[in-house]
Amino acid sequence: MTAQVDTMNVVNDHSLLEKKCTGSKCSYWLDKKLVSAAVYETHLNEPDIGNCKPCYLKLKDAKGNLIYEGDFYTDCCIGAYIARYTNGSIKLKGQYKIPPESALNDDIFNMGYCKREGEWKYYTKDGALEKTEIYKNGELVK
């Protein structure tokens, strides 16, 4: 990618946040789990993945463990991608189809990007290579 990108650290997608109120009493939910108002507010004030145009995205779980990272345009991966186990070791490493800078817009998925491309490696929790797959335009070829 040639575009200048920022790194965006996100714990959860904002669509997973929910506030339910009955009268003056409210409950707060994150990924269908009840959380405190303070936790809800912390996540509400995080950057929104919708503003990743493009960015190097690092998605973390509620405990701060890195779940995955990579080159993204909103929720569409457009380059390197690494998924991790909660112990921090690499679970999966691969590449998504990289668009030209002129294709970076909100219709990027419909333009045929956001698809696996090339070699994808899967690892066990202890870091041993488990298997390798090859993709072409999102299709598994080997």
Pairing mode, strands 129-136 and 17-22:
unpaired
- pTM higher than 0.95: no
Q: Is it the case that residue 139 has pLDDT exceeding 90?
A: yes
For the stretch 91-131, pLDDT in tens is: 999 999 999 888 888 888 888 899 999 999 999 999 999 99
Structure tokens at 33: 């789990």
Are 118 and 94 within 8 A, CB to CB? yes
- Higher pLDDT pick, 136 / 36: 136
